[in-house]
């Protein structure tokens, strides 16, 4: 892959590290793509740090996590980099692209679309598993052998799917209020049907419960936090489906039901420190195989 230049949108000192936002022209999506990077003060050329990818939910950009989650203080303490990509390509002018909050702009669902007109540009799965990790490794002092992933709602779905399909790339995974089985909820049925077509068998590669049953997970326990007062709990998120799939497959799951919490970033901010410490425990002192830059899907 040829070098891709980055343009700095913003850069701010933050808890001794740097919180920045960049843009670049993406070959995968055919559009400019923005992403944030928090580099902790421990990140030096001689000492690359572990990295966490955060995947956001419906309607979000790279900005929401940066300004609302309150993650930088603890990430700086633990020596963790955090990469925050956008949730979809933007500005393509496709019919219907901006008509709904749960499909199109801000709702890429972290899939590689196969249906026209989305298939040419809505390639968030390949962007996140191939292009962006290469770009990060080429430009920042992060250790590609020690990478975890987490996210919220649609992004929780994405984090689980990317980790389950790429266990050599992601050593740790957690989620806040994930869409546990997109094949069995209105958000997911709309998105997967629109991006992948009507054949539900093709949807299974983007459904965490199906992936757990077909592939399992040999890494550290999956961690999920879910608010009991989440307005989407019963209709869209359905954590019991994830729990049942893990039980059947013998996959360890730490499912924390948080009494009284909803779906908002107030919920995320309340437990972000626990998630960061969970990932640090799995990544900071980990040692992995020498071929640290392998990003291939194990499909």
pLDDT one-digit tens code per residue, 99-158: 999 999 999 999 999 999 999 999 999 999 999 999 999 999 999 999 999 999 999 999
230 given a catalytic annotation? yes
Q: Beta 17-25 vs 222-227: how paired, if at all?
A: unpaired
* H or E, element range at 114: none
In the set 56, 141, 153, 181, the catalytic residue is 153
pTM of the model: 0.94
DSSP one-letter string for 170-234: -SEEEEES--S-GGGSHHHHHHHHHHH-S-GGGGGGG-HHHHHHHH---SSPEEEEEETT-TTII
Q: Measuring CA to CA, which residue among 108, 69, 79 is closest to residue 92?
A: 108
Checking if the pLDDT of 3 tops 90, the result is no
In the set 152, 172, 230, 275, the catalytic residue is 230
pLDDT digits (tens, 9 = 90+) for 35-71: 999 999 999 888 999 999 999 999 999 999 999 999 9
The reported pLDDT for the residue numbered 290 is: 36
In the set 169, 205, 207, 263, the catalytic residue is 263
205 given a catalytic annotation? no
List, in order, residues 6 or more apart from 287 with CB less than 8 Å away: none
263 given a catalytic annotation? yes
């Amino acid at each position: 892959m040829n070098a891709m230049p980055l343009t700095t949108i913003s850069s701010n000192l933050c808890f001794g590290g740097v919180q920045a936002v960049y843009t670049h022209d993406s070959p995968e999506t055919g559009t400019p793509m923005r992403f944030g990077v928090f580099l902790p003060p421990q990140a030096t050329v001689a000492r690359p740090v572990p990295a966490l990818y955060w995947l956001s939910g419906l309607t979000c950009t790279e900005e929401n996590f940066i300004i609302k989650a309150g993650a930088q203080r603890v990430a700086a303490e633990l020596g963790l980099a955090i990469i925050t990509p956008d949730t979809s390509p933007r500005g393509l002018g496709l019919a219907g692209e901006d008509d709904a909050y749960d499909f199109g702009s801000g709702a890429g669902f972290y899939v590689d679309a196969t249906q026209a007109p989305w298939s040419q540009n809505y390639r968030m799965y390949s962007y996140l598993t191939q292009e962006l990790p290469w770009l990060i490794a080429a430009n920042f002092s992060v250790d590609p052998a020690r990478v975890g992933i987490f996210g919220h709602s649609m992004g929780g779905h994405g984090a689980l799917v990317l980790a389950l399909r790429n266990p050599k790339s992601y050593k740790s995974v957690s989620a806040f209020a994930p869409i546990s089985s997109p094949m069995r909820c209105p958000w997911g049925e709309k998105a997967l049907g629109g991006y992948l077509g009507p054949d539900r068998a093709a949807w299974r590669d983007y459904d965490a419960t199906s992936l757990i049953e077909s592939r399992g997970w040999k890494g550290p326990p999956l961690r999920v936090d879910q608010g009991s007062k989440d307005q989407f709990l019963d209709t869209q998120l359905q954590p019991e489906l994830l729990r049942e799939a893990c039980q059947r497959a013998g996959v360890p799951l730490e499912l924390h039901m948080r009494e009284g919490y909803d779906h908002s970033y107030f919920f995320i901010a309340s437990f972000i420190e626990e998630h960061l410490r969970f990932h640090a425990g799995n990544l900071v002192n980990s040692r992995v195989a020498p071929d640290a830059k392998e990003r291939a899907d194990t499909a």
